[in-house]
């Protein structure tokens, strides 16, 4: 069975869509565009006050649309009979055709149900195993951020969705919160995709957001300290994997966001 691909792209992004279509046709994949959302996710309440406390600011319209788009893709995966997993791309990528042309082999041999193909930040890693083309599957020892490209199976999509009852952070922050949803943060390295810099409207909107009030700043410090303790504890366990026989991380207990 050929793994299926979904490419999240705003309607009207013709240049990006043409570039992605050429690449997908080159690898002969089962793929389709998924129209990106512009509003907050359906069935999930956005709480701007909690966002200020959890993330230090409110979310931008672009971040809400990005959140809604990935949530909708996961729901679509769960609602499609016979579909066990998806390779999810955003539309600003250059992809390695050799690697993704052999995705069926990767899916067959991959020991994990959620694997990133790109991350925003360079972070320490712990090797799990080899994969296609001299690449390795690794655990990340820090949050890497970004939603550009990843493989996700039905059980992992269910995990993500169950852990997010409301919107209080960007979607990549939620995906990195392994201590909350129990899905290890793993990736293929070196990355088989490169992000193309078309310019980000989200980044510009973030910088124009107002500063926190003194009261919100105190709440932010409190929640940030709790997250740091849990994050450091979790990633400390990841780092020890490199000093003993490799094995899967014990899943964190599933809990709600916030």
pLDDT of residue 172: 95
pLDDT of residue 210: 72
Q: What is the pTM of this model?
A: 0.87
Q: Where are the domains of the chain?
A: 4-198+210-243
pLDDT of residue 232: 84
pLDDT of residue 101: 93
For residue 139, the cross-strand partners are 126, 186
Cα 69 to the center of its chain, rounded Å: 12
For residue 86, the cross-strand partners are 4, 152
d(CA 242, CA 216) in angstroms, rounded, equals 39
Chain segment 68-111, per-residue pLDDT in tens: 999 999 999 999 999 999 999 999 999 999 999 999 999 988 88
Q: Which residues of the chain have pLDDT under 50?
A: 243-251, 253, 256, 258
Number of C-beta neighbours around residue 45 at 10 A: 11
d(CA 246, CA 59) in angstroms, rounded, equals 38
Chain segment 217-245, per-residue pLDDT in tens: 888 888 888 888 888 888 877 766 654 44
Exposure on the CB side of residue 45, measured as CA atoms within 13 A:
6
Identify whether the C-beta of residue 219 lies closer than 8 Å to the C-beta of residue 106. no
Cα 225 to the center of its chain, rounded Å: 23
CATH topology of domain 4-198+210-243: Spore Coat Polysaccharide Biosynthesis Protein SpsA; Chain A (3.90.550)
pLDDT of residue 144: 94
């Amino acid at each position: 069975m050929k793994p299926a691909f979904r490419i999240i792209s705003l309607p009207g992004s013709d240049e990006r869509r043409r570039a992605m279509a050429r690449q997908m046709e080159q690898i002969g994949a089962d793929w389709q565009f998924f129209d990106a959302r512009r509003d907050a996710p359906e069935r999930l309440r956005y709480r701007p006050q909690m966002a200020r406390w959890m993330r230090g600011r409110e979310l931008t319209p672009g971040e809400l649309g990005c959140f809604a788009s990935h949530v909708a893709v996961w729901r679509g995966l769960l609602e499609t009979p016979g579909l066990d997993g998806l390779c999810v791309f955003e539309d600003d990528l250059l992809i390695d055709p050799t690697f993704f042309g052999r995705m069926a082999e990767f899916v067959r041999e991959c020991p994990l149900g959620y694997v990133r193909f790109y991350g925003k930040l360079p972070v320490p890693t712990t090797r799990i195993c080899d994969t296609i083309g001299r690449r390795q599957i690794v655990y990340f020892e820090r949050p890497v951020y970004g939603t550009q490209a990843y493989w996700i199976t039905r059980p992992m999509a269910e995990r993500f969705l169950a852990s997010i009852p409301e919107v209080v952070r960007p979607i990549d922050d939620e995906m990195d919160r392994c201590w909350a949803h129990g899905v290890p943060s793993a990736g293929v390295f070196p990355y088989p995709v490169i992000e193309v810099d078309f310019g980000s409207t989200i980044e510009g909107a973030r910088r124009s957001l107002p500063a926190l009030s003194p009261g919100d700043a105190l709440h932010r410090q409190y929640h940030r300290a709790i997250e740091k303790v849990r994050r450091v504890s979790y990633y400390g366990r990841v780092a020890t994997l490199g000093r003993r026989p490799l094995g899967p991380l014990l899943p964190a207990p599933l809990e709600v966001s916030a």
